[in-house]
Amino acid sequence: MADTLDMSGPSSPEQQRANRILSEPLRRSLKRSHPCSLSEYLNNTNRLSHRHSSSSMGVRGLLHPTAAQHRPTQPRQTKPRRAHSSNIDLWDSPSGLHLAHAAELLMRAGALTLTPTPRDQGPLGEEMKGGSGAEGDGTGCVADFLPLLGCSWFPLNPGLFALMAGGGGFLTSGGGSMGIAGVGEGVEVLRGESSSTGGGGGAGRRKRKRCGECVPCRRTGNCEECSACRNRKTGHQICKYRKCEQLKKKAATGFEMVFPSGAAFPWLQ
DNA sequence: TAGAACGTTGTG
DNA sequence: CACAACGTTCTA
């Protein structure tokens, strides 16, 4: 694993390829994957705080909201056997730690102070809503946050910010890792744990994709004999012999950051 | 613990 | 909307 910071830029073919891929336009499904902007989040947070009377709730509470803190699940007509994992709300994000969530956590932990500037009259959320122009476009994460970067009162570790902002993308779990989709260059991978057992409660579940390079992935055609093929209707699984090796592995746990190129973070050089 | 079942996501 | 298939949960 590349646990060292690579400041030399995309020297290797692999890095070049990765960068090329990362530079490609986002697919629609990726572009729409912003749970909310910071301003939206802050507004929602106010509501949440009111609802839960938890304005003094600690970080632990944020990280591990109790069942009572979750939004009440909607009644389902399907079997109660499965927990509904698509209730993406403020606690739910693809990564389990959304940009705005992280900001909130930091603020509450005292690590991040959002000191209003003179022009910051009134609630931060309103100010940013009016000023960023990113309101409602679903891509407001970066637009909302970038102004903060220029302020001396934004004491975020650049790496942490990169982790949070994700270049306008979101944190995805792929190939046993949490990658940032849509990032132009810079942070490549954030490894995270699989969603459900790691406190995400199934939220933020994102499909990993086949690597396309392993032997099973290269294989064409189903065997039509394995259990997956035989139970295709009910199993919803790919042929046993075509199952990607990467996907067979459990998603890694913990977080780590890899900076393939320091170009996007000149302050690191 | 592996396999089955099913919900859900992602893509065309 | 249909379909493929990943992720989660349940069961044997």
The partner residues of A180 in beta bridges, in order of sequence, read A171
Half-sphere exposure of A64 (CA within 13 A, CB side): 4
Residue pLDDT, tens place only, A159-196? 333 333 333 333 333 333 333 333 333 333 333 333 33
Which residue gives the smallest C-alpha to C1' distance to C9? A82
Rounded Cα distance, A251 and A159, in Å: 22
Residue A205 pLDDT: 65
Helices and strands, number each (H, E), in chain A: 12, 4
Taking the C1' atom of every nucleotide in all shown strands and the CA of A195, the nearest one is: C7
**Beta A257-258 vs A189-190: how paired, if at all?**
antiparallel
d(CA A109, CA A106): 5
Q: How far is the CA of A165 from the C1' of B1 (A)?
A: 39
For residues A99 and A181, what is the distance between their CA atoms, to the nearest angstrom?
14
Instruction: Give the up-direction half-sphere exposure of residue A240: CA atoms within 13 A in the CB hemisphere.
Output: 9
Kindly list the protein residues whose beta carbon lies within 7 Å of any strand C atom: A 81-83, 85, 173, 194-197, 200-202, 205-210, 222, 232, 235-239, 242-244, 247, 251
Angle (nearest 5°) at CA A7 between A167 and A141: 10
Q: Which of A13-17, A86-90, A158-162, A198-202 has the highest mean pLDDT?
A: A13-17
Integer distance in angstroms from CA A249 to C1' B1? 15
Smallest CA–C1' distance to B4, residue: A235
> Which pTM does this prediction carry?
0.37
Tokens representing A216?
């099973």
pLDDT at A48 over 70: no
In terms of DSSP H, where are the helices of chain A? 13-23, 28-31, 38-52, 59-63, 99-109, 124-132, 140-149, 158-165, 215-218, 227-230, 232-235, 245-248
Q: Residue A86 CA to B9 C1' — how many Å?
A: 9
* Strand C footprint nucleotides (protein C-beta < 7 Å): 4-10
Residues A195-249: pLDDT tens digits? Answer: 333 333 333 567 888 888 888 888 888 888 888 998 888 889 999 889 988 888 8
Q: How many CA atoms lie within 13 A of A72 on its CB side?
A: 4
CA A49, distance to chain mean position in Å, is 23
Comparison of pLDDT for A206 and A78, the residue scoring more = A206
Nucleotide nearest to A235 (CA to C1'): B5
Could you give the CA distance from residue A144 to residue A165 in angstroms, rounded to a whole number? 10
Burial class for A249, CB neighbours closer than 10 Å (0-12, 13-18, 19+): exposed
Give the residue with minimal CA–C1' separation from C10. A81
Nearest-nucleotide field for A206 (CA, C1'): B9
- Angle formed at CA A27 by CA A21 and CA A32, multiple of 5 degrees: 130
Starting at the edge strand found earlier in the chain, the sheet holding A257-258 runs: A170-174, A177-181, A189-190, A257-258
**CB contact burial A10-20 (16+ within 10 A = b; e otherwise):** beeeebeebbe
The bases of strand B with some atom under 7 A from any protein CB are 3-12
A221: left (phi over 0), alpha (psi -120 to 50) or beta: left
